[in-house]
Amino acid sequence: MHSRFIFILCLFAALFQGSYSANKSPPSSSSVVFQVTGNVYPRGYYHVTMNIGNPPKPYWLDIDTGSDLTWLQCDVPCVKCLPAPHRPYKPNKDLVACTDPMCASVHWPETLECKSPKDQCDYEVQYADHGSSLGLMVKDWFPLQYINGSVAKPRLAFGCGYNQEVHSSMDPPYTDGVLGLGLGKSSILSQLNELGITRNIVGHCLGAQGDGFLFFGNELVPSSGVIWTPMSTTEIDKHYSLGTAELYVGGKASGIKDLPIVFDSGSTYTYFSAEAYKALVSTLMNDIKGKQLKTANDDKSLPLCWKGSKPFKSVQDVKNIFKPIMLSFAKSKYVRFQMDPEAYLIISERGNACLGILNGSEVGLENINLIGDISFHDKIIIYDNEKQQIGWAPANCKKLPNIDDDGDPDHGGLCKPYGSNLDILQAYCAA
């Protein structure tokens, strides 16, 4: 997530500066789009730039549909802040109280006990990779520009993190924090919807070659070609769960069924449960017999890598050797999520092909199967919380869907230079 192409909103005093009242319906044109920067390998994450405060300052946030809480590294002062692209955020005095319902949402499912109504709302969030953030909840302005050029300036709650930890074996993302886009009330998406700023819909498009876009609202959802499946609300609370699926490799059933599937943009790679992982590796190893590939045990980029007679330059070099992987969903007949080799392989710096699907039981995921960024490559993924469904479709993530003045995709309207969007639009529309 580190290219210097940053989507920064330039706000002028003449533009609307007020926040919306609670539970107001979103305006007819209420979608917001962000440039996404990053890649799966070698960076290992994707970020957007959010402008926060008054005057607004830019911060790089890791996109995470697998968690609710948005947080920034924060100088209150820092107990332990990690290297980051910008100085730690300096909070104002607008703290979230312990008695605020937002605080209860952050602490769910644990019961929150407040000793005094004036107590601040502390938080601690822990991630599957053993990273964590500890801090307090605050509120500040988040200026956002709609795709029609108008501006909203909601005041949102987020975490002010003064103590961040990462696992000793990992390089921490070079970002200022995390953009939590999960299902809980504390997520930025839920807050924006509650204030009537945007619809409760989020989508992302992550390019296999890097970069892409993120959007809030419904105007960038393709009108056709999207495969939809209902969210499963009973499986895994507060995560984007799609229910259970059966694993196919190369069009053949693996015999592995009832796999609980969760979509999580905060995970770089995809994780299968132990049984599914072993079945997949066994099938892939059988398929490549006699194909002049050898296991590259000396390449530690990922747990399983293969080398050829000469270094590979891209996944295209091995596309005819590796077969598509498919998840067939039990709830929705004929609904399948396909992962071509580009969606589960990376080419390491040594020129080897490495498997970007890992054993989730080794990181404590147990039977959950987490679909991460690598498997979202060159697809638009839509999380529609209003209709309780998740959808996907093939997409060119290097090109923003064009929007006309009626909010209708593919008619060129977004390629008009709307002030603060000028740089991002020139880059996309010149193509």
Domains (range + CATH), the chain:
38-198 (2.40.70.10), 227-394 (2.40.70.10)
Residue 423, pLDDT score: 37
User: Alpha-carbon distance 327 to 339, whole Å?
Assistant: 8
Residue 399, pLDDT score: 83
211 is an active site residue: no
The one-digit pLDDT tens for each residue of the chain (431 residues) are 322 222 222 222 222 223 333 446 676 668 999 999 999 999 999 999 999 999 999 999 999 999 999 999 999 999 999 999 999 999 988 999 999 999 998 988 788 888 888 899 999 998 877 789 999 999 999 999 999 999 999 999 999 999 998 876 667 778 999 999 998 899 999 999 999 999 999 999 999 989 999 999 999 999 999 999 999 865 455 689 999 999 999 999 999 999 999 999 999 999 999 999 999 999 999 999 888 899 999 999 999 999 999 999 999 999 999 999 999 998 887 899 999 999 999 999 999 999 999 999 998 888 999 999 999 999 999 999 999 999 999 999 998 765 544 444 443 334 433 223 323 433 333 33
Residue 422, pLDDT score: 27
End-to-end CA distance of the chain: 21
- Name the residue among 65, 85, 81, 72 with its Cα closest to residue 3: 85
Evaluated on CA atoms 6, 10, 15, 21, the torsion sign reads: positive
Residue 429, pLDDT score: 39
User: Alpha-carbon distance 186 to 159, whole Å?
Assistant: 10
Do the Cβ atoms of 36 and 77 come closer than 8 Å? no
Do the Cβ atoms of 382 and 203 come closer than 8 Å? yes
Residue 257, pLDDT score: 95
- 64, 299, 373, 384: which is the annotated catalytic residue? 64
Three-state secondary structure along 307-339? ECCCCCCCHHHHCCCCCCEEEEECCCCCCEEEE
264 is an active site residue: yes
User: Alpha-carbon distance 94 to 160, whole Å?
Assistant: 11
Do the Cβ atoms of 61 and 67 come closer than 8 Å? no
- Name the residue among 288, 249, 214 with its Cα closest to residue 61: 214
C-beta atoms surrounding 214 within 10 Å = 24
- Name the residue among 348, 300, 304 with its Cα closest to residue 41: 348
Do the Cβ atoms of 298 and 330 come closer than 8 Å? no
User: Alpha-carbon distance 370 to 390, whole Å?
Assistant: 15
Q: What pTM was computed for the model?
A: 0.87
Would you call 123 helix, strand, or coil by DSSP? strand
List, in order, residues 6 or more apart from 161 with CB less than 8 Å away.
71, 72, 73, 74, 81, 133, 134, 135, 177
In the DSSP assignment, the letter for residue 96 is: P
- 62, 100, 176, 264: which is the annotated catalytic residue? 264
- Name the residue among 110, 145, 114 with its Cα closest to residue 124: 110
